[in-house]
Protein backbone atom coordinates (compact mmCIF):
# COMPACT_ATOMS: atom_id res chain seq x y z
CA UNK A 1 0.00 0.00 0.00
CA UNK A 2 1.46 3.36 -1.01
CA UNK A 3 0.80 6.17 1.46
CA UNK A 4 1.70 9.86 1.32
CA UNK A 5 2.85 11.94 4.25
CA UNK A 6 0.60 14.98 4.63
CA UNK A 7 0.53 17.95 6.97
CA UNK A 8 -2.68 19.86 7.57
CA UNK A 9 -2.99 23.08 9.53
CA UNK A 10 -6.42 23.84 10.94
CA UNK A 11 -6.96 27.57 10.40
CA UNK A 12 -8.88 27.93 13.67
CA UNK A 13 -8.29 27.43 17.35
CA UNK A 14 -9.40 23.93 18.36
CA UNK A 15 -11.25 23.60 21.66
CA UNK A 16 -11.48 20.41 23.74
CA UNK A 17 -14.35 20.35 26.21
CA UNK A 18 -14.35 18.26 29.39
CA UNK A 19 -17.32 16.89 31.30
CA UNK A 20 -19.76 19.57 32.37
CA UNK A 21 -18.98 21.73 29.34
CA UNK A 22 -15.75 23.01 30.90
CA UNK A 23 -12.80 24.04 28.73
CA UNK A 24 -10.14 21.34 28.89
CA UNK A 25 -7.66 22.69 26.34
CA UNK A 26 -7.33 25.12 23.46
CA UNK A 27 -4.86 24.64 20.62
CA UNK A 28 -4.35 27.63 18.34
CA UNK A 29 -4.14 26.66 14.66
CA UNK A 30 -2.77 23.17 15.26
CA UNK A 31 -0.82 21.27 12.62
CA UNK A 32 -1.39 17.55 12.21
CA UNK A 33 0.90 15.13 10.39
CA UNK A 34 -0.28 11.73 9.17
CA UNK A 35 -0.11 9.16 6.37
CA UNK A 36 -2.86 9.15 3.76
CA UNK A 37 -4.01 6.33 1.52
CA UNK A 38 -3.07 7.18 -2.09
CA UNK A 39 -5.21 4.29 -3.42
CA UNK A 40 -2.12 2.75 -5.05
CA UNK A 41 -1.56 -0.89 -4.19
CA UNK A 42 0.93 -3.63 -5.11
CA UNK A 43 -0.87 -6.93 -4.77
CA UNK A 44 0.45 -10.50 -4.75
CA UNK A 45 -1.36 -12.88 -7.08
CA UNK A 46 -2.53 -15.14 -4.24
CA UNK A 47 -4.46 -12.23 -2.71
CA UNK A 48 -6.30 -11.68 -5.99
CA UNK A 49 -7.13 -15.39 -6.02
CA UNK A 50 -8.58 -15.06 -2.50
CA UNK A 51 -11.14 -12.48 -3.60
CA UNK A 52 -14.40 -14.32 -4.08
CA UNK A 53 -16.42 -11.29 -5.13
CA UNK A 54 -16.29 -9.71 -8.56
CA UNK A 55 -16.26 -6.24 -6.99
CA UNK A 56 -14.42 -5.35 -3.82
CA UNK A 57 -12.96 -2.14 -2.43
CA UNK A 58 -9.31 -2.34 -1.44
CA UNK A 59 -9.87 -1.19 2.17
CA UNK A 60 -12.22 -4.19 2.52
CA UNK A 61 -9.69 -6.53 0.89
CA UNK A 62 -6.98 -5.24 3.22
CA UNK A 63 -9.18 -5.85 6.29
CA UNK A 64 -9.99 -9.40 5.07
CA UNK A 65 -6.31 -10.17 4.58
CA UNK A 66 -5.41 -8.77 8.01
CA UNK A 67 -8.12 -10.95 9.58
CA UNK A 68 -6.36 -13.93 7.96
CA UNK A 69 -3.16 -12.85 9.74
CA UNK A 70 -1.44 -11.47 6.66
CA UNK A 71 0.73 -8.39 7.04
CA UNK A 72 0.16 -5.38 4.80
CA UNK A 73 3.29 -3.42 3.96
CA UNK A 74 3.23 0.37 3.77
CA UNK A 75 5.51 2.38 1.50
CA UNK A 76 5.45 6.07 2.46
CA UNK A 77 6.24 8.85 0.00
CA UNK A 78 6.82 12.50 0.85
CA UNK A 79 4.03 15.03 0.60
CA UNK A 80 5.65 16.64 -2.45
CA UNK A 81 5.81 13.32 -4.33
CA UNK A 82 2.07 12.65 -4.56
CA UNK A 83 -0.81 14.88 -5.62
CA UNK A 84 -4.49 13.94 -5.42
CA UNK A 85 -5.85 14.23 -8.97
CA UNK A 86 -9.38 14.28 -7.53
CA UNK A 87 -8.84 17.83 -6.23
CA UNK A 88 -8.69 20.74 -8.67
CA UNK A 89 -6.00 22.58 -6.68
CA UNK A 90 -3.76 19.50 -6.76
CA UNK A 91 -4.49 18.95 -10.45
CA UNK A 92 -3.38 22.54 -11.12
CA UNK A 93 -0.14 21.94 -9.18
CA UNK A 94 0.52 18.91 -11.38
CA UNK A 95 -0.18 20.90 -14.54
CA UNK A 96 2.36 23.53 -13.45
CA UNK A 97 4.93 20.84 -12.61
CA UNK A 98 4.53 19.26 -16.03
CA UNK A 99 4.10 22.30 -18.26
CA UNK A 100 5.17 25.33 -16.22
CA UNK A 101 3.13 28.46 -15.61
Tell me the per-residue pLDDT of 22-78, one tens digit each, with 9 for 90 and over: 999 999 999 999 999 999 999 888 887 777 666 778 898 899 899 999 999 999 999
Whole-model pTM over 0.75: no
How many domains does the chain fold into? 1
Phi first, then psi: give them for residue 85, nearest 5 degrees. -70, -5
Number of H helices, E strands in the chain: 3, 5
Domain range enclosing 48: 2-99
Amino acid sequence: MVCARKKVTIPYGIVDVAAGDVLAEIKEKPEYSFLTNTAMYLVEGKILEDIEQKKADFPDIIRMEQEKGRKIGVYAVDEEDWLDMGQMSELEKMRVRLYGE
